[in-house]
Structure 1
Amino acid sequence: MNTITRRNDIVKRVKKEGSIDVEGLAVAYGVSVETVRRDLRYLDDKGLIKRTYGGAVKRERTTWDMPYNQRILFQKDLKEAIAREAVKQLENGDSIYIDGNTTCVILSRFIPPDLELSIVTNSLHIAWILKQHGGRMTIYLVGGELGQEGMTFGHKLIMEMKQYQFDKVFFSCMGINAKGCYYSKWEPMLTAQTAAEHANRVILLADSSKMNRNGFLFGLDHKSIDCLVTDEGAPEPLLDKLRESIEQVITVPVTENSNAANSDQGSWPLDSPILIKEE
């Protein structure tokens, strides 16, 4: 078994068994303990597993670690239910900001075209979807450097956003817990903070997979959020805590179809080819 095949197989073992040990792998593959340790170091550096003393365990992932095209499908039914509920917050004449995260892309598909709205976004995807709606919406695409996920970011984006005052902003996050919401990257965190500073009403869309999770960067505390739209799969103790600071906490029903879809997709789709390359 060559190095690439062995490392791919190690990742599959960790995913299936939850944890593995160095000596057991050495025997299974007929290689030295040091070779296995070298494999585990490589896989840990790539973020595919988490090394431990004497072995490795499955690395916990969040949806923000997934490629964008996978992230938009993850919890899709729940995101659609959240989006359908969230658009009820809109009123005729509103000026709004919609962030370019995947939940808000889905939200844009459900905005009634008969509403007269001024909509600002940093997402090419959202701008295109809304333009296809037609209707009475005026759409503004704020500038900046264009990222691979079709969103603008950087200093120019922040400066442009500061020129607006929004009735409502819609955004999401990497995770939310009893302290506030978190992000894994600076760009979405700064965008959310800027939008919240220039809004009369801040609306967070976060499905239950993001509950009781934190991240590398702390974004906003609960006092900065006026409305949370999530699903009833969110843990009730956390929701009770959030209700102490957030004016409106809305939960949407979890359907059987949603549960079936989510159990098939899992939380980190490593069933697809890993394609580890020798370096």
Structure 2
Amino acid sequence: MIPYVRREKIMDELENKQILYIEDLVKIFDGVSESTIRRDLKILEDENYIVLLRGGAVKLKLDSHEIPVGTKKLLNKESKEKIAKLAASMVEDDDVIYIDSGTTCSAMVKYIKAKGVRIVTSNIQVLNEANGYHIGNIMVVGGDVNKNIDSISGPLTDTTLRNLNFDKSFLGANGFGVNVGVNTPDIREASKKSIVKTNSKKCYVLTDASKFNKSTFCKAFEIHECILITNKHIPELDGTEYIVAD
């Protein structure tokens, strides 16, 4: 396994387990020495993705609200690409769509094949993802920029979005479940998602299964008010509308 792929796998393990010990990682990567694992961890720490703790433990580097977008790009990358590709297949010719903040939402742009699509977004990364692809029209809403997650939100954003209607919206989430709904740690992001959901004929939420039953500060809306696109069958969600990207 090449070093970059191994470090991606480490990030995936941390997303699922929050804190790991070096001895755990040695067991996961059979045949890889402890010194090699330590070098990988030092690189990830230098790149501000993780924090090394006393006693040989390691965790993701988080701020008080969100995982930084640079870290998110390394988490569950294969699953996110599958979800993004399936989401893009839902877009039809001449649709007006909204693309939310989040790395999975960003990733869907390059897979859109429909013609004449108008994209409205509060996701700064969408502009980078669209570069080189034949996207009809992109409108970036105004507001306050959160550089940590490459997202635009706030009162100006909400005011703009209240006056727009969408054929389809594609939203991200930090957690989802029957009881916890679709949630996010940032009240501004929650407000934005709620407005867009209300103004959309169809609302899709793009999220990998590792976020199931995770509860963060703000519930944006209930799980039955959207169509989930995720990467695994989740028996607890039977009776709600969701699609598995495999």
TM-score by length of 1: 0.63
Whether the 8 Å contact between 1:121 and 1:127 is mirrored in structure 2 is: no
CA distance in 1, matches of 2:74, 2:59: 21
Name the counterpart of 1:101.
102
CA distance in 2, matches of 1:75, 1:103: 10
User: Once the 2 structures are TM-superposed, how far is the Cα of residue 128 of structure 1 from its aligned partner?
Assistant: 3.4
CA distance in 2, matches of 1:168, 1:202: 6
User: Once the 2 structures are TM-superposed, how far is the Cα of residue 15 of structure 1 from its aligned partner?
Assistant: 3.8
Task: From the CA coordinates, give the structure whose radius of gyration is larger.
Answer: 1
Flag structure 2 segments of 5+ consecutive residues without an equivalent.
1-18, 24-50
RMSD: 2.7
SS in 1 for 2:111: coil
Whether the 8 Å contact between 2:172 and 2:205 is mirrored in structure 1 is: yes
| Alignment: residue pair count | 194
Flag structure 1 segments of 5+ consecutive residues without an equivalent.
1-13, 19-47, 50-56, 254-279
- Is 1:16 matched with 2:21? yes
- Is 1:192 matched with 2:193? yes
Name the counterpart of 1:229.
229
User: Once the 2 structures are TM-superposed, how far is the Cα of residue 131 of structure 1 from its aligned partner?
Assistant: 4.6
The C-alpha deviation readout for 1:79-133, integer Å capped at 9, x for no partner, is 0001111111111111000002111011112112x51111100122202322531
User: Once the 2 structures are TM-superposed, how far is the Cα of residue 17 of structure 1 from its aligned partner?
Assistant: 8.9
Structure 1 pair 59–182 and aligned structure 2 pair: CA distance change class (3 A): farther
Whether the 8 Å contact between 2:185 and 2:216 is mirrored in structure 1 is: yes
The C-alpha deviation readout for 1:146-202, integer Å capped at 9, x for no partner, is 221332111101101111100000011111112211111112211111110111100
Name the counterpart of 2:26.
none
The one-letter code of the counterpart of 2:205 is L
What percentage of aligned pairs have identical amino acids?
Answer: 23
Matches within 5 A, 1:178-217: 178-179=178-179, 180-217=181-218
The one-letter code of the counterpart of 1:251 is V
Whether the 8 Å contact between 2:177 and 2:223 is mirrored in structure 1 is: no
User: Once the 2 structures are TM-superposed, how far is the Cα of residue 218 of structure 1 from its aligned partner?
Assistant: 1.4
SS in 2 for 1:156: helix
User: Once the 2 structures are TM-superposed, how far is the Cα of residue 59 of structure 1 from its aligned partner?
Assistant: 8.2
Whether the 8 Å contact between 1:131 and 1:139 is mirrored in structure 2 is: no
CA distance in 1, matches of 2:62, 2:211: 8
The one-letter code of the counterpart of 2:87 is A
CA distance in 1, matches of 2:74, 2:61: 16
